[in-house]
């Protein structure tokens, strides 16, 4: 089955390297549809984009690449998702620079599922990879699809954790979707194509270019409700993703580690700048959980408050000072002070200004 005219127009325009997402969006605003952009002459196009870009569009894409793109689209696992498509992820429309066209392999419905980015260093430690997998598994089980970048190290562990539980995983890649990069993750990419999804904004045939990876990172955060950084050096792609997440108004989470580990320094910097320190997937679910499904457990389980504690009996639920408490309970000031501190630490008693105490539960 050959693609319809609209799909053909999206495919063609996606292959024009000179056309930035911004230029593409401006042309869509000016000329309404991709077909009318393809049909427009240079002079019309040059009213909206530069002469060079107008010329490139008028020339059209390389016929061989266009043919290859047609063949790619014949595989039922593959799909184009454009601005005009109901399957286009809503969260991505909120970002500054949304790509007009996404190439998707796998399950496109996952794109609009509640998602979390889990990212980190290619050189992650064994503990870091283990943390990435454990957090991702817990988050996937808790209702969040895990989004990462298909890199080796932390990314691969995050995908594995997401795939292992109920909400699966999406890889957002920096190459054309007909290329698997890095080759070491070929098996993982096949699993994602079958049970999750792979997504790219880059035209089919786009090789692994260093310059495309930071740009790709804005989609990892843009598709996600929040971004967890597992292990990251001070100047790293993961921090770029976290910065995008902040700009896009997403929550940023970071796992702490030893102050002597270079791969914790990025996480510590983020925490200093306001990211939430997290020790488990549960910490993240609690932060975002109210809008997902109820986890069915309370946030903290307290031991039952000792019913025959003489100090609590004397205190009741009204504020009292230490001297009065001692008179009421018959305890010495030292014993009462120590008991109050224990109760305070357990969240049963609160210390008020002026040296008074109040039972709070």
Crossing angle for the helix pair 237-247 and 262-272, to the nearest 10 degrees? 10
By CB under 8 A, which span of 162-170, 183-191, 220-228, 352-360 interacts with its own copies?
Answer: 352-360
Residue 182: cis peptide before it, omega within 30 degrees of 0: yes
Name residue, tokens 């997402």: 21
Tell me how crowded residue 36 is: count the other CB atoms within 10 A of its CB.
14
Contact between 309 and its own copies per CB under 8 A: no
Q: Which is nearer to its own copies, 155 or 231 (CB)?
A: 231
Among 4, 17, 39, 43, contact with its own copies (rule: CB under 8 A)? 17
DSSP structure string for 14-59: HT-TT--HHHHHHHHHHHSSHHHHHHS-HHHHHTTS-HHHHHHHHH
Which letter does DSSP use for residue 306 in this model? P
Of the residues 268, 285, 311, 349, which one makes contact with its own copies according to CB under 8 A:
268
Tell me the C-alpha distance between 245 and 259, whole Å.
24
**Which C-beta is closer to its own copies: that of 63 or that of 274?**
274
Neighbours of 260 (CB within 10 A): 7
CB of 267 to its own copies, least distance (A): 8
Out of 5, 32, 166, 332, which residue is the one contacting its own copies (CB under 8 A)? 332
Please state, as a whole number, how many other Cβ atoms lie within 10 Å of the Cβ of residue 302.
10
Query: Of 96, 293, 316, 360, which one interacts with its own copies (CB under 8 A)?
Result: 96
50 touches its own copies (CB under 8 A): yes
Q: Choose, by CB under 8 A, the member of 18, 35, 85, 112 that binds its own copies.
A: 18
Q: How far is the CB of 127 from its own copies (least distance, A)?
A: 7
Nearer to its own copies, 124 or 196 (CB): 124
What is the pattern of x (binds its own copies, CB under 8 A) and - over residues 131-150? x-------------------
According to the binding rule CB under 8 A, does residue 286 interact with its own copies? no
On the 0-12 / 13-18 / 19+ scale of CB atoms within 10 A, 240 is: buried
114 half-sphere exposure, CB direction, 13 A CA radius = 15
Is position 358 an interface residue for its own copies (rule: CB under 8 A)? no
Q: Which residues partner with 119 through β-bridges?
A: 229
For the purposes of burial, counting CB atoms within 10 Å of the CB of 90, is it exposed (0-12), middle (13-18) or buried (19 or more)? exposed
Hey, which bits of 83-229 come out as E strands? 101-106, 115-119, 145-148, 169-172, 197-200, 226-229
CB of 114 to its own copies, least distance (A): 23
Query: Whose Cβ is closer to its own copies: residue 114's or residue 349's?
Result: 349
Provide the pairing of β-strand 226-229 with 276-277: unpaired
Q: Is 306 in the site for its own copies (CB under 8 A)?
A: no
| Binding flag, residue 62, its own copies (CB under 8 A) | no
Q: Which of 29, 183, 259, 300 binds its own copies (CB under 8 A)?
A: 259
Say which DSSP state 303 is in.
Answer: P
Of 104 and 267, CB closest to its own copies = 267
User: Which lies closer to its own copies via its Cβ, residue 56 or residue 73?
Assistant: 56
According to the binding rule CB under 8 A, does residue 277 interact with its own copies? yes
Are 147 and 115 in contact, with CB atoms under 8 Å apart?
A: yes
Q: Which is nearer to its own copies, 60 or 330 (CB)?
A: 330
Total binding residues toward its own copies, as defined by CB under 8 A: 57
> Which residues contact its own copies (rule: CB under 8 A)?
17-18, 20, 22-23, 49-50, 53, 96-97, 127, 131, 209-212, 214-215, 235, 239-240, 243, 247, 255-260, 264-265, 268, 271-272, 276-277, 279-280, 321-323, 326-327, 332-335, 337-338, 341-342, 344-345, 351, 353-355
């Amino acid at each position: 089955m050959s693609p319809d005219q609209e799909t053909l127009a999206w495919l063609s325009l996606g292959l024009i390297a000179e056309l930035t997402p911004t230029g593409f969006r401006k042309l869509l605003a000016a000329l309404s549809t991709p077909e009318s952009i393809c049909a427009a002459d240079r002079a019309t196009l040059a009213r909206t984009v530069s002469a060079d870009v107008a010329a490139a569009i008028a020339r059209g894409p390389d016929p061989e690449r266009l043919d290859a793109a047609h063949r790619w689209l014949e595989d039922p696992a593959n799909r184009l998702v454009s601005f005009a498509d109901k399957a286009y992820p809503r969260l991505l429309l909120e970002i500054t620079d949304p790509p007009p066209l996404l190439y998707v392999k796998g399950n496109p419905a996952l794109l609009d599922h509640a998602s979390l980015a889990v990212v980190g260093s290619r050189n992650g430690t064994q503990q870091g990879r283990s943390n990435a997998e454990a957090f991702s598994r817990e988050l996937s089980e808790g209702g969040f699809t895990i989004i990462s970048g298909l890199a080796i190290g932390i990314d691969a562990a995050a995908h594995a954790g997401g795939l292992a539980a109920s909400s699966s995983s999406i890889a957002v890649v920096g190459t054309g979707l007909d290329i698997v990069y890095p080759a070491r993750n070929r098996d993982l990419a096949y699993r994602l194509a079958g049970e999750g999804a792979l997504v790219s904004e880059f035209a089919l045939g786009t090789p692994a270019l260093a310059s495309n990876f930071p740009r790709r990172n804005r989609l990892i955060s843009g598709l996600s409700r929040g971004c967890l950084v597992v292990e990251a050096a001070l100047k790293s792609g993961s921090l770029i993703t976290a910065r995008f997440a902040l700009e896009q108004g997403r929550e940023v989470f970071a796992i702490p580690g030893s102050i002597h580990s270079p791969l914790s320094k990025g996480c510590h910097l983020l925490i200093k700048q306001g990211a939430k320190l997290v020790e488990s997937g549960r910490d993240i679910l609690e932060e975002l959980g109210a809008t997902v499904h109820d986890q069915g457990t309370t946030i903290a389980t307290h031991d039952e408050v000792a019913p025959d504690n003489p100090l609590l009996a004397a205190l009741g639920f009204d504020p009292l000072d230490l001297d009065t408490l001692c008179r009421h309970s018959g305890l010495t000031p030292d014993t009462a002070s120590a008991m109050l501190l224990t109760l305070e630490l357990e969240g049963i008693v609160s210390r008020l200004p002026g040296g008074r105490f109040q039972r709070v539960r």
